[in-house]
Amino acid sequence: MTVLGVGLIGASLAQACIQRKLVERIVGFGRNAGNLKKAEKRNIIDSGSTDLKTAVAGSDLIVLCTPVGSLVDRVREMIPFLQDGCLITDSGSVKGSLVRDIDALMTDGVFYVGAHPIAGGEQSGLEASSPDLLTGAKCIITPTANTRPEALERITAFWNAVGMETLSMDPDEHDTIFGALSHLPHVVVYALMNTVAEVKTQHHPGILPMSGAGLKDITRIASSDPVMWRDICLYNKRPVVKLIDQFQESLEKIKIMIEQDQADALQETFANANLNRGKLVESNT
């Protein structure tokens, strides 16, 4: 198996495969030779290379764990070096057009099945990885009309074998759903953090030191990798922009309620949010 991108997801996946004895050998690929050496030293990968041809040579399974902005270019670059029967999957948070673009690059002997493991957090990189990160989490599989049934079966079995619960979903539907569940919340929290940080008063040019635990809790995901989230937003542009519009409408309604002293309507809105969060917590326990 070759893992492209030995960061949080890639390193966690490699460790899970080793722990569960799913593969004979793991090769890591990345731009940072030092990070690959560190992964070798920690026995997360058997070897690493900054040369893509070397990294994928002879591999029967390739897992793309690089930022979504580089996925298609990486596949295009490595296709000539892949052996017949090779399977490709990925961990990208955006599917839709990316899945279709990668599908179009496949040859008769190489097969791709898109996937999105719903795991991780605001911390990134090799140091944050864990062999248990994926255990019990959901993994969305996004087949298309071009997906070979045997490839779908094998990739689904692979993600199940590392301890994940797999669900099959249309790629575009995936982007709408996770645009709402993940991408919009990140955009909102980034904006919230910047808005609060810019608030000043006559005697306090910066107010963040006075914050309690609540602000820290709700803005946790603002610590997420900016490059990764830049790419996710740009590659899932249409759903994210539509969801931002929808969120702005909700915020505008609340603004009007406050301006017009609509106490009952405001309380009802907040109570409805309480109920919805209760459903969220219940569904994740």
For the range 151-158, what are the long-range contacts, defined as Cβ-Cβ under 8 Å and sequence gap of 24 or more? 151/87, 151/111, 151/112, 151/113, 152/113, 154/87, 155/87, 155/89, 155/113, 155/115, 156/113, 158/22, 158/61, 158/89
Tens-place pLDDT, residues 117-165? 999 777 788 888 999 999 999 999 999 999 999 999 999 999 999 999 9
Topology of domain 2-169, CATH: Rossmann fold (3.40.50)
Question: Which residue do the tokens 């298609």 mark?
Answer: 72
Cite the residue boundaries of each domain of the chain with CATH code 1.10.3660.10. Answer: 173-283
Measured CA to CA in angstroms, residue 275 lies from 103, 269, 270 at distances of 41, 10, 9
How far apart are alpha carbons 106 and 50 in whole angstroms?
Answer: 23
Task: Tell me the C-alpha distance between 212 and 209, whole Å.
Answer: 9
For the chain, which ranges sit under pLDDT 50? none
The domain made up of 173-283 is a member of CATH 1.20.1260.10: no
Residues of the chain with CATH 3.40.50.720: 2-169
**For the chain, what is the mean pLDDT?**
96
Give exposure, 4-33, as e/b (b: 16+ Cβ within 10 Å).
bbbbbbbbbbbbbbbeeeebeebbbbbeee
